[in-house]
Structure 1
Amino acid sequence: MRNLTMRPSKARTYYLGLCLTYHDPALAIVGPDGGILFAEAAERRLQSKRALNAPPDDLFQTPALLQAHCADADEFVIACNWQEPRPLHEHLARWAGWLSPEGILANAGRRLHAWLEPYQLYHMQAAQHHALKSRLLNLARSLRRDFPGVPVRIRAYDHHLSHAALACYGSPFETAACAVIDSYGETGSMAFFDYRDGRLRPVAKLDGPQSLGFYYMKLTELCGFDWLGGEEWKVMGLASYGRADAEVMGWLRDMMQVDGLRLKTGHAVFFDRLQRLESRRRHPEQAPESAADLAHTGQLFFAETVNRLLTNFHARGCSGHLALAGGCALNSVCNGQIPRGTPFRALYVPPAPADDGTALGAAWLAFREDHPGQSFEPGHLSPYLGSEIAAADIERFARYAGVPVRHLPGDALIGAAAELLAQGKILGWLQGKAEFGPRSLGNRSILADPRHAETGERINREVKFRERFRPYAPAILHEYGPDWFEAYQESRYMERTLRFRPEARERVPAVVHVDGTGRLQTVKQSWNPRFHALLEAFHRLSGVPVLLNTSFNVMGKPMVHSMEDAFAVFLGSGMDALVAGDHLFTKPETLP
């Protein structure tokens, strides 16, 4: 920890958490009482997927956020999600020139027993180095101009500890075993913690290049997709169309094995098996069956490996509750299997388990460091922490957009929107604060009636412009969950995939994947009253307590951030109507 000034007594201290990772940068603000005032990934404002190599403390947005949330600040604590000292191997690679453009072009450097090529690994290290080297420059300027004389303290936290803080402090658990499974941190890809009495205690960590995150990146690449663009989702969707390939599974097991809470590489055979895997490289458009079989087998190996690690972790006796974080916790197919495939009794995955979530994790670590004697009540973290579209912006579009629009306060809007959905219309839905994390949860959503299979096909074809094999999520009223899903589990953040009951599948074919599963969102009135009211109204009209819910974006773009973004999708796609606040916008052809 580095102090720039002494801490004044009884200060109104605001905690600014920064994700300084070169991908998925994010900013979080925690108030003097520990409450979350704001948390959002930079990609939303920039409308650039993953905001690669962008700073989290934007020079234009950050000053406005500080004025809105921290105007009365007596002190700031800036909490970063990476330790300042970089590991020795990175300094050596930089000294050897491997992290330079010339080194990356030449694919220079020693070939490690890792899933990725040297140029890919060294590009990541170089990009991370530059992200940390330029850290806080924008924020420092903003604070000096707008808060002159206000003390500022800067702290840096271990990357995986920042992941664990979000997962445990945001969970409903008083005690938990916390597993962080990632691509990499300061020195490795995994860390395990025991959480109790409000404190995180390290249990084990994995050093070295072995990484389930790197493995899934390689699998994404072999299946014809781009992991740099975050296309691992496509592998999960495609996997359901394939079958297990025993030969490929054997190669994967030769290459990486579980040893306690570690991953071991089969050094003697690694590169031979990697070359064999390369021979199976396929693109789903050119060889759909082969690509699907590879995706299916690769997903099976991933889940098998995670379950073995977690079973070994449970044997350490930390807790029967599991808090899971890191980029690999976005694998909803694997998450849904953990309660059945491991001894853990309960699972919590936060809404932003990947690196964007570490901004809030770091801010919480700083707050708790300053309040060591304070007790904290466990409870579910709300995902609705991002930006809110101003009423004035909605009213401006209502006046000038040139499309039919109605102002319908309260229940009138809920009823009108439910009627359109029951008529088969595709609806954009903008309400309140944006979701923190990668999934739309009823505030930045595209919604539709799930009762007709062609609805999902139409959204893929005319709205999202994405591949046909990509599934859609069912949002379901919680009280009906056990009637619709086998071994039903609450899934507040759309973080796990479960199997539909056979008798339910034919009722909502638009949200049932080819293997009979759905990545569901549990909806409760206390969590999102407005979205819950819409679901209830649709249920009364249709007899179905389920809506198709997908993120409000087109393929390759982040979820919409502004009214301008929303109207670009609305007018540039086959969407029928748009709800923003209390205004209902429709296209002329949508009207009866």
Structure 2
Amino acid sequence: MMADAFLGLNILHDTSAALVVDGELVAAVEQERFNRDRHTTDFPKDAVDYCLEAADLRREDLRGVAVTFDYDEFRTNDNPFERHTNNHDDTTMGGRARILADNRSTWDAARRELVEFGFPKARYLRHHLTHAACGYYLSDFDEAGVIVVDGRGEREATTLWHAQGPKINNLESYNVNDSLGQLYTYVTSLCGLYGNIGNEGKTMGLSGYGSNRFDFGSVLTFDHDRYRIHRDELRKFAQYRAPLGKPDRNARDLAYAVQEKLEEAFRFLTARVRSLTDCQDLVLSGGVALNCNANGMLVASDAVSDLYVPPAANDAGTAVGAALLQWAEFSGGRPRTPANQVYLGERADRSAIDRAVTSGGVNSVRVQRPEAVAARAIASGLIIGWYQDRMEFGPRALGNRSILADPRDPSMPDKLNNRVKFRESWRPFAPSALAEHASAWFGPAVDSPYMLLSLEVLPERRHLVPAITHVDGSSRVQTVERERNPLYHRLIEEFHRITGVPMVVNTSLNIRGEPIARTPEDAVQCLVESGLDLVFLGDTVAWKDDVDINSLISGESNK
């Protein structure tokens, strides 16, 4: 009997594809992993091919295809678009005409691409609905309030929803003029950090170094049931703009100010959706939901009983929402909550790994227990790449395409930023911690499997793990459960046995400007072109000439 398969396509930025078969999410991947262009706008052709191959399906086997934007609605919208907001949005008659022309051009391009790549009958779904569906259907909540916050959808930038069973109903919307995402992006630009899309996370990290010198009280205001962004008040801060790539004291304090107001907005919206739904459980989705500090603030408060943020809360995740929405409409029921929500990409086979190490000209050997060798390497101060099993979906590396290091070394952030990641020296690093030990190191005691919550490093522990403790005492934690990722859990267990510390530093396996590694060749390239000491690819260890691999392997054989 033919499977009931539904494909979701995001063809905006961070383009992606996701496949649901018989109510189960079986594959999802971003196009950037294939074309190596971060935040790519290219049509996700390779992502589609992977998803279909993973399920052994052809295009003609698909029961439905949907994209994550209603282009018919978008083409008639003359509200200022994001790039205009960043350059002082032009709301004159001529400016709106140019915006409308741009939007129609985007609509024409979308139609052409769908025809060109074989999906002329693809449905258009509302953008914020696909964000809401990605979050709610992946959660295990039977009923929840849902908040979607991003730069913009077709016309809206913030939306509130009530979700119950298979149904997701819109309650309230804010248009693009009150976009929290665009507010944050504009301040990111003022901080000298907006070189390209996706740099807002730098502002979040920079905010920890700032002070309350700037008051954004007149920029973002609240009444009893609505917030409002005042653009004229915001533009007054343009005088403090920092040069690109050179954030100064003003930048640090602007970052602090916008982060404080964003967290206030999150509290306000959470209270509002609770008043409308009487739901204690909350789902957050949209690109702004990647703000770990704001998410962590919510879980540390009594604002919600439980919070769920999908691992791909950004636009890449809308492809998952589009696929799940089609299944829910077709079946009349809610899709099954998948146990695996992250490790949805491809895995390399043995021959691909062998070819990669040979063509890369690096040393290599196979070991019986790579997790034990890796733990010894990390404990001895080496920086390793960890390339295992299926690739993660979403912007976080969560233990399968990761760079790992020792959290006890206070100089490790500088080593990683300067030798490996080639990025700003002030940017913090995150830990992967054993879930069963996390509450003894971080507060509050909550699960954080997708590295989307900033938690407090307990004061008495901070001196033990300086490499993952940000200047404000916080840390963006991933809690690792044995059931979710057994091999990664064993590695951290072994490191814990050696050092007494139940966590490792975890950052994505890539260098600056590159997407997360997809192939073994990508991983070996990271080794060759950066200060990585070793890369583990399955049970193969690849290394450079200045690493004493024999002592690491002999340590393994002595256990």
Mark yes or no: TM-score above 0.5.
Answer: yes
Contact 1:339 1:346 in 2 (8 A): yes
Partner of 1:279: 239
Q: Secondary structure at the match of 2:489?
A: helix
Task: Provide the residue aligned with 2:186 in structure 1.
Answer: 218
Relative to structure 2, which stretch is displaced further, 184-193 or 347-356?
A: 184-193
2:438 aligns with 481
Which of 111, 121, 124 is the aligned partner of 1:133? 111
- Whether the 8 Å CA contact 1:107–1:118 is kept in 2: the answer is no
Correspondence 1:432 to 2:389: yes
Q: Does 1:45 align with 2:34?
A: yes
Give 1:213 shift. Answer: 0.6
1:71 aligns with 2:57: yes
Task: Tell me the distance in 2 between the aligned counterparts of 1:401 and 1:89.
Answer: 51
2:79 is equivalent to residue 110 of structure 1: no
Counterparts of 1:454 and 1:549, CA distance in 2: 15
Provide closer, same or farther for how the CA distance between residues 136 and 88 of structure 1 changes in structure 2, counting only shifts above 3 A: closer
- Tell me the CA shift for residue 567 of structure 1: 1.6
Alpha-carbon distance between aligned partners in 1 of 2:391 and 2:101, rounded to the nearest angstrom: 32
Contact 2:23 2:336 in 1 (8 A): no
Report the residue type matching 2:197 in the other structure: G
Distance 2:457 2:417 in 1: 22
Aligned partner letter, 2:227:
L
Per the TM alignment, residue 390 of structure 1 is displaced from its structure 2 partner at its CA by 3.0
3-state SS in 2 of match to 1:319: coil
Please state whether the residue corresponding to 1:433 is helix, strand or coil: coil
Q: In structure 1, how many angstroms separate the alpha carbons of the residues matched to 2:71 and 2:206?
A: 39
User: Which of residues 198, 220, 230 is equivalent to 1:256?
Assistant: 220
Q: Give 3-state SS (helix, strand or coil) of 1:66's partner.
A: helix
- Confirm or deny: 8 A CA contact 1:576 1:586 kept in the other structure: yes
The residue type paired with residue 346 of structure 1 is D
Structure 1 residue 556 and structure 2 residue 497: aligned? no
Counterpart amino acid of residue 212 in structure 1: L
Deviation at 1:481, TM superposition (A): 1.1
- Cα 1:331–1:108, aligned 2, differ >3 Å: closer, same or farther? closer
Letter in 2 for 1:36: L
Give the residue type in structure 2 aligned to 1:186: E
| Shift in Å, 1:190 | 1.3
> 1:309 corresponds to which residue?
269
User: Residue in 2 aligned with 1:517?
Assistant: 474
Relative distance call for 1:415 and 1:129 in structure 2 (3 A) is same
Aligned to 1:443: 400
The answer to whether the 8 Å contact 2:18/2:48 transfers is no
Count residues with an aligned counterpart.
Answer: 545
Aligned partner of 2:526: which letter?
V
Query: 1: distance between equivalents of 2:247 and 2:167?
Result: 50
Distance 1:478 1:12 in 2: 36
3-state SS, counterpart of residue 212 of structure 2? coil
Partners of 1:170 and 1:381 within 8 A in 2: no
**Residues 1:419 and 2:376 aligned together:** yes
Matched residue of 1:564: which SS? Answer: helix
1:171–1:380 contact (8 Å) kept in structure 2: no
State the shift of 1:263 in Å: 3.1
Any idea what SS the aligned residue of 2:209 has?
A: coil
The residue number in structure 1 matching 2:324 is 364
Instruction: Name the residue aligned to 1:321.
Output: 281
Could you say if the C-alpha distance between residues 126 and 539 of structure 1 is closer, same or farther in structure 2, counting changes exceeding 3 Å?
Answer: farther
Distance change in 2, residues 1:74/1:461 (3 Å): closer
Alignment of 1:433-582 (within 5 A): 433-582=390-539
1:338 to 260, 281, 298: 298
1:25 has 2:12 as partner: no
Contact 2:7 2:62 in 1 (8 A): no
Partner of 1:201: 169
Query: Aligned pair 1:383/2:369, yes or no?
Result: no
CA positional deviation for 1:111? 4.9
Residues 145-177 of structure 1: per-residue CA shift (max 9 Å, x gap)? xxxxxxx96322111110011101101211111
TM-aligned CA deviation for residue 186 of structure 1? 1.5
Identity of aligned residues (%): 32
When residues 564 and 232 of structure 1 are mapped into structure 2, their CA distance, relative to the original with a 3 A threshold, is: same
Q: Deviations over 1:408-465 (max 9, x none)?
A: 24xx211111111111100001111111110100011000011111112101010000
Q: Residue 292 of structure 1: CA displacement?
A: 0.9
Q: What SS does the corresponding residue of 1:457 show, helix, strand or coil?
A: helix
Q: Distance in 2 between matches of 1:547 and 1:111?
A: 53
Q: Deviations over 1:363-391 (max 9, x none)?
A: 0000111101x455546552111122232
Matched, 1:16 2:16: no
Q: Distance in 1 between matches of 2:168 and 2:243?
A: 43
Residue 585 of structure 1: aligned partner: 542
Distance 1:380 1:236 in 2: 30
**How far apart, in 1, do the equivalents of 2:3 and 2:42 lie?**
30
Matched, 1:164 2:132: yes
> Compared with structure 1, are the counterparts of its residues 121 and 431 closer, same or farther at alpha carbon in structure 2 (3 Å cutoff)?
farther
- Of 18, 35, 46, which residue of structure 1 is paired with 2:24? 35
Query: Alpha carbons of 1:111 and 1:468: their partners in 2 closer, same or farther (altered >3 Å)?
Result: farther
**Residues of 2 paired with 1:278 and 1:118: CA distance?**
23
Distance 1:479 1:440, change over 3 A: same
The equivalent residue for 1:352 is 312
Partners of 1:581 and 1:123 in 2: CA distance:
50
State the AA in 2 paired with 1:356: A
Asked if the contact 2:9/2:18 (under 8 Å) is kept, the reply is: yes
Output the CA distance in 2 between the equivalents of 1:495 and 1:259.
29
SS in 1 for 2:91: coil
SS where residue 470 of structure 2 aligns?
coil
1:393 and 2:371 matched: no
Distance 1:377 1:48, change over 3 A: closer
Query: Which of 82, 86, 93 is 2:73 aligned to?
Result: 86
Distance apart, 1:194 and its partner CA: 1.0
In structure 2, give the amino acid aligned to 1:492: P
Stretches of structure 2 that go unaligned for 5 or more consecutive residues are: 552-559
Letter in 1 for 2:11: L
After superposition, residues 286-301 of structure 1 pair within 5 angstroms as 286=246, 288-301=248-261
Gaps of 5+ in 1: 1-9, 142-151
Report the secondary structure of 2:283's partner residue. Answer: strand
Does structure 2 conserve the Cα–Cα contact (< 8 Å) formed by 1:456 and 1:472? yes
Q: Distance in 2 between matches of 1:119 and 1:501?
A: 54
SS at match of 1:236: helix
Is 1:56 paired with 2:22? no
Matched, 1:235 2:203: yes
Q: Deviations over 1:201-224 (max 9, x none)?
A: 222222352100110110100000
CA shift for structure 1 position 64: 5.6
CA RMSD, Structure 1 to Structure 2 (Å):
2.8
- Over 3 Å counting, the alpha-carbon distance change for 1:433 and 1:130 in structure 2 is farther
Q: Is the 8 A contact 2:360 2:525 kept in 1?
A: no
Which amino acid is 2:219 matched to? M
Letter in 2 for 1:181: V
Name the CA distance, whole Å, in 1 between partners of 2:400 and 2:65: 29
Q: 1:258 touches 1:309 (CA, 8 Å); kept in 2?
A: no
